[in-house]
């Protein structure tokens, strides 16, 4: 795993503002060739569920994966 970021995300839906706890993982393609929504990432004692479609970087060497706490 290359790096982990944990920004809080605020989304707007109609007139409501929704806060969600997220985690962004940068993972080498050589380590995880095809992550999918619903996959689990374990970081120490914490578990995260991949949500949304992972995106590769420009060189296609690193996935950026958005996840939520399991």
pLDDT in tens, 5-63: 555 555 666 777 666 667 889 999 999 999 999 999 998 898 999 998 999 999 999 99
Alpha-carbon span 15 to 13, nearest angstrom: 6
Q: What is the pLDDT of residue 59?
A: 95
Q: What is the pLDDT of residue 23?
A: 84
pTM: 0.70
Close Cβ partners of 15 (under 8 Å, ≥ 6 residues apart): none
Predicted local confidence at residue 64, as pLDDT: 92
Given a cut of 90, is residue 3 above it in pLDDT? no
DSSP 7-67: -EEEEEETTEEEEEE-EEEEEETTT-S---TT-EEEETTEEEEE-S--EE-TTS-EEEEEE
How far from each other are the two terminal CA atoms of the chain, in whole angstroms?
19
């Amino acid at each position: 795993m290359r790096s982990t970021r944990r920004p809080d995300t605020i989304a707007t839906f109609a007139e409501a503002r929704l806060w969600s706890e997220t985690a962004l993982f940068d993972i080498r393609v050589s380590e995880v060739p095809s992550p999918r929504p619903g996959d689990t990432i374990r970081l120490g004692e914490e578990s995260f569920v991949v949500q949304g479609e992972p995106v590769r970087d420009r060189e296609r060497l690193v996935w950026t994966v958005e996840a939520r706490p399991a």
